Amino acid sequence: MRLGSGLAPLDGYPFEVRHSEGALARAQAAADVAADAYAYLRRVLSGFEPDIAVIVADEGDWKSRQPYGLPFFNDDDGQIRPGIVVMSAGPGTFWATMVRDIRDASPGGYARLRSTYPDGTGGVDLQPFFDLVTIHELGHAFEVLGGLALPTFWLGEIFANLALHAFVATRRPECLETLVVLPTVGAQSRRLGARMRAEGYSTLEELETHYTGGDRPMSPLNYVWYQYRWLRLAAAMFDADGEGGLVRLWDRFRRADRLDVGEVTAASLAPMLRAEVSETLGRAVQRWR
């Protein structure tokens, strides 16, 4: 069965909404924010309107290689819409794994998480953060369905994070702390970074090779560490460029003179990104390690 096809519909939005039994309130809250982000990105990104469904699924209805709790975008053939944005109806165990990872690597950072994402019992609840990550997946819907020909996987992630940060900064500034604290703590942990460089992957080239599998696929926590850094880069880009960086990234890779995926590297992309998209982005790509 196609994901979402047997779930209850929720009308009144510019995209299809489906939800698991008992998740109506969560679906309404998610769809309200997604509709605001959809309108914002449509305005900023050439008026494009991706044909999508937003699905709020409980663990029994979750069908993905992603751990339950991590929102995702899917454009495989046979979906209920050309693209689906899927978020969980409740917390996933992987969230607890992320929190333990930071607690072990950075006790001071963990204390900041407890302050920013309190669960009411002295622990950490990442639900507010992952509610915002749904907008990252909406960014992928604009990227993929809008025909954005990004030559690397990691540029797609940076685009989606920039779309997310731009939306929160301009339309939901009260949520900015919720968005930035977790990636700031994760990206600033020297112990976490040293462990990833010693035991996992850290370069953009390694990500391109190992994220999708191969003989040595990266761990989910390793991938999350990349996302911490990309989210911080998106914040720095927005601070430097405002919406202009997002618009230029969109416009540059919708042009007819598209780059051949087989010919690009981070080093070869950096000068073009600096000149045509964002000095901040090009510099970060050039210095990434």
pLDDT at 8 over 60: yes
Residue 211 pLDDT grade (very low, low, confident, very high; cuts 50, 70, 90)? confident
Partners of residue 9 on adjacent β-strands: 18
Q: What is d(CA 26, CA 179) in angstroms, rounded to the nearest whole number?
A: 19
CB 131 within 8 Å of CB 156: no
pLDDT of residue 213: 63
CB 84 within 8 Å of CB 74: yes
**Tokens, residue 110:** 């963990």
Partners of residue 85 on adjacent β-strands: 54, 73
**Tokens, residue 179:** 């968005």
What digits encode the pLDDT tens for the residues 76-91? 999 999 999 999 999 9
Q: What is d(CA 122, CA 53) in angstroms, rounded to the nearest whole number?
A: 36
CB 56 within 8 Å of CB 18: yes
261/23: higher pLDDT: 23
Q: What is d(CA 188, CA 120) in angstroms, rounded to the nearest whole number?
A: 26
Residue 140 pLDDT grade (very low, low, confident, very high; cuts 50, 70, 90)? very high
Residue 260 pLDDT grade (very low, low, confident, very high; cuts 50, 70, 90)? low
pLDDT at 274 over 80: yes
pLDDT of residue 259: 67
pLDDT at 1 over 60: no
Residue 66 pLDDT grade (very low, low, confident, very high; cuts 50, 70, 90)? confident
67-71, 169-173, 237-241: the lowest-pLDDT one: 67-71
Nearest to 147 by CA among 56, 258, 229: 258
pLDDT > 90 in the chain, percent: 87
**Tokens, residue 284:** 């970060």
Distance between first and last Cα of the chain: 42
pLDDT > 70 in the chain, percent: 96
**Secondary structure (3-state) at 88:** strand
pTM (predicted TM-score): 0.95
For the residues 14-42, what does the mean pLDDT come to? Answer: 97
What digits encode the pLDDT tens for the residues 99-133? 999 999 999 999 999 999 999 999 999 999 999 99
Mean pLDDT taken over the chain: 94
pLDDT of residue 201: 95
For the residues 211-235, what does the mean pLDDT come to? Answer: 90
pLDDT of residue 198: 94
Q: What is d(CA 163, CA 243) in angstroms, rounded to the nearest whole number?
A: 9
Q: Which long-range contacts (CB under 8 A, 24 or more apart) does 197-203 make?
A: 200/225, 202/289, 203/266, 203/288, 203/289
Residues 277, 280, 281, 285, Cα dihedral to 10°:
140
Residue 65 pLDDT grade (very low, low, confident, very high; cuts 50, 70, 90)? confident
pLDDT of residue 26: 95
